[in-house]
Amino acid sequence: THPDPSLSSLFAKENLAHMSEEQLNCYDRLINEPSNDWDIYYWATEAKPTPAEFDTDVMAMLREFAKNRNREQRLRQPDLEYLFEPPR
């Protein structure tokens, strides 16, 4: 099972359009290289320390996003239409 499908999807929806090319590359590595989605979840929620190779500003953004300071209701993944929206 995936630990929290909404965390990475909602993060992507909110942040991808504003990321630099370098940040997009870091995000791509982060979601594709670790062999276990649970690792990303544990790093984002600070349950486990993030390995140096993934401890980038993108991971810092994901950790901040995971804290959900605005207490948004995050019960489901977003629709994928955002992938086709022009950048704001």
Q: Which of 21, 7, 13, 9 is nearest to 88 (CA)?
A: 13
> pTM higher than 0.85 for the full model?
no
pLDDT, tens digit (0-9, with 9 covering 90-100), for 61-86? 999 999 877 665 544 554 545 455 56
Euclidean distance between CA atoms 79 and 82, whole angstroms: 7
pLDDT at 42: 92
Q: Where are the domains of the chain?
A: 21-75
Q: Which residue from 57, 71, 63 is spatially nearest to 27, judged by alpha carbons?
A: 57
pLDDT for 18 equals 93
> What are the tens digits of pLDDT across the range 9-35?
889 889 999 999 999 999 999 989 888
Of residues 48 and 10, the one with the higher pLDDT is 48
